[in-house]
Structure 1
Amino acid sequence: MLVSQTLIIVYSLLGGPGTHTGLFTVTVILTAFFSGGNEYPRIRNAIIAYCTFSFLFLEFYFQLFPPILSFESLYLEWLRRTIDFGLIAFTLGISFDIAKEIRNSDDEIENEREKSENLLLNILPRTIATQLKLDHGVIAERYEESSVLFADIAGFTVMSSTMAPDQVVQMLDEVFREFDDLARRLGLEKIKTIGDAYMVAAGLPERRSDHCEAIFKLAVEMQDLMREKFSIKYNGLALRIGIHTGPVVAGVIGTVKFAYDLWGDTVNTASRMESHGVTGHIQVTEAVYEKLKNRYTFELRGELDIKGKGKMKTYLFPV
């Protein structure tokens, strides 16, 4: 670029301003920006300063002195046309290159946006993620009708103590991936996993009237999957499930790591149904039984002393 600008100066001094050679200074400046200008800003700025100074020097020089050589008018005319067309071609080339870079940048930005969107949707429900992007305040809502399921792998602590850490993680990942697929297919919302426990909710964030039926269907399919596949593969692996239905409060907590969670007596009761449940069965409260008794056959387990709740009548669904 320095050599090019020096040749421009020499040719301009020889032929004068009528050659239009000094206009090629613009191409040198543009090239300085697009040929590593961001990586070497000092060199770029030095070249730009040199080009600017030389262009101004030539403009003032020809106000005082004539060109060294006198070219014929026909030669100057064709030279000017050649230079003008050359500048137009160079400018168009740079413009197309800039447009291409912008399109590539837009595509990269869109790809990264989609990745971020998918990551966010893996953490939060779609409606909550959309609301979070629009509103940075507290996101919380009460749902009068919802159902909550807790599932726990029976004997997991003892089993995991005899397995290598990577085998434990691989087993949980395989099981929970299958559960995720079931929940997604039924339109239910996975809330979280806690160790070997799995929590799902129905009727939120999008309300639905069949929340209890949907979450019970998930429980049945989870038990079937555990019995027909994972129990055989992992030496008698079994599942304990508890379900309760009622009002909950749902919302987003955290500022660094977002979490969509549920609170309320319904959540606590569903957890107690699981922890006081029977391996290989689905234990439900009387509220769930009343909603589903005409569609499924339950066994009355009787009244249990539930921690924090006292005596509660519960029902079992053997699968």
Structure 2
Amino acid sequence: MEVVKWSNYLYGGNGNLAEKILWRLSQHSEDLEEEVLRRTTNLLDERAKCDAILARFLPSSVVRQLRSGSNVIPEMFELVTLMFTDMPDFGAYVARHPPLRATTVLAELDMLFHALLSQYAVYRVENISDSYMIASGVPVANGTQNVLEICSLAQAVMRRAPEKLSVYQELPIKVGIHSGPLAAGVIGTKKPKYCLFGNTVNIASRMCSHGISGRIQLSDSTADVARTVYPQLMLEERGWIAVKGAGEMQTFWLQF
């Protein structure tokens, strides 16, 4: 009698001991399945968060290759369009104002780009302080579409900057754009970084540094594609200018 009472206390209800053990095993199995499902869901959520963070530093296609254990082999791209932006007077501004004020300016600038980048097929390669380097056509080639994507982004930046940047009148942005071939690949293992190499990078940078605040300067190679394929992009000829490391180049202003 005592054994029966004790088994009823442990397993609940009526029935023999074997039935109660089987019932408890069944319940335990269901509990384990629920726990596994819960932990799997949490793991997938954390993985998605991790991928979102990695996507800020590496293209999503590269993240997938690295996660699968594949080596990211450097590639040559025949046509990539690069955009460099800069606030020429930011250094002098920092010297005149408290550090927190400069931080606010950079935060506003980052919010501006963050809001716009997702609307175009572009990748933010790098940004240092007030300078940004953005590309289209890597790591997935997209024909001449990269010219339209970068030019459209540049126009959006210049249109939105006056309303989104509290100091835009004092710190206007200038933009330089160039299109051409380059190589791209992941450098580093502990802190991998997607890097672009080639003279196209140098000339795109020069288009910015040789530009004028408040304007978008295009190289002739970008302008050729724009005029031929995307006539909706309105250009104005600037003329020939001396470009460091490249000699005389014909450049154009992109209207916005």
Q: CA deviation at 1:170?
A: 3.2
- Asked whether the 8 Å contact 2:234–2:254 carries over to 1, the reply is yes
- More helix by proportion, 1 or 2? 1
Which amino acid is the alignment partner of residue 245 of structure 2? Answer: G
2:34 pairs with 1:100:
yes
Aligned match of 1:303:
240
Q: Deviations over 1:75-118 (max 9, x none)?
A: xxxx9x53333323332333233222222221221211111222
Q: CA deviation at 1:121?
A: 1.9
- CA-based RMSD: 2.7
CA–CA distance in 1 between the matches of 2:233 and 2:108?
29
Report the number of matched residues.
247
CA–CA distance in 2 between the matches of 1:204 and 1:238?
28
TM-score (norm 2): 0.84
Q: Deviations over 1:276-312 (max 9, x none)?
A: 1111111111112222244444343333222221222
Q: CA deviation at 1:135?
A: 4.3
Q: CA deviation at 1:222?
A: 0.9
Q: Which has the higher contact order (CA 8 A, sep 6+)?
A: 2
Aligned match of 1:156:
90
Aligned match of 1:221:
156
Q: Deviations over 1:224-264 (max 9, x none)?
A: 1123432x555532001101111011111111112112111
Which amino acid is the alignment partner of residue 306 of structure 1? Answer: V
Residues 318/113 of structure 1: CA separation in 2 closer, same or farther (3 Å cut)? closer
Question: Equivalent residues in 2 for 1:42-53 (5 A)?
Answer: none
Structure 1 unaligned blocks of 5 or more: 1-10, 28-78
Question: Equivalent residues in 2 for 1:71-220 (5 A)?
Answer: 82-208=16-142, 209-220=144-155
- Asked whether the 8 Å contact 1:253–1:261 carries over to 2, the reply is yes
Q: Secondary structure at the match of 1:185?
A: coil
CA–CA distance in 1 between the matches of 2:26 and 2:111?
53
CA–CA distance in 1 between the matches of 2:174 and 2:168?
16
- Asked whether the 8 Å contact 2:162–2:169 carries over to 1, the reply is no
Which amino acid is the alignment partner of residue 101 of structure 1? Answer: E
Residues 247/227 of structure 1: CA separation in 2 closer, same or farther (3 Å cut)? same
CA–CA distance in 2 between the matches of 1:180 and 1:139?
28
Aligned match of 1:238:
172
2:221 pairs with 1:287:
yes
Residues 317/89 of structure 1: CA separation in 2 closer, same or farther (3 Å cut)? closer
- Asked whether the 8 Å contact 2:234–2:255 carries over to 1, the reply is no
Aligned match of 1:314:
251
- Asked whether the 8 Å contact 2:121–2:146 carries over to 1, the reply is no
Which amino acid is the alignment partner of residue 32 of structure 2? Answer: I
2:205 pairs with 1:268:
no
Structure 2 unaligned blocks of 5 or more: none
**Sequence identity percentage:** 30
TM-score (norm 1): 0.69
- Asked whether the 8 Å contact 1:250–1:261 carries over to 2, the reply is yes
Q: Deviations over 1:150-187 (max 9, x none)?
A: 00012111112233334323321222232233222022
**Farther-moved stretch of structure 1 (160-169 vs 247-256):** 160-169
- Asked whether the 8 Å contact 1:151–1:274 carries over to 2, the reply is yes
CA–CA distance in 2 between the matches of 1:205 and 1:177?
24
CA–CA distance in 2 between the matches of 1:277 and 1:223?
14
Q: CA deviation at 1:203?
A: 1.7
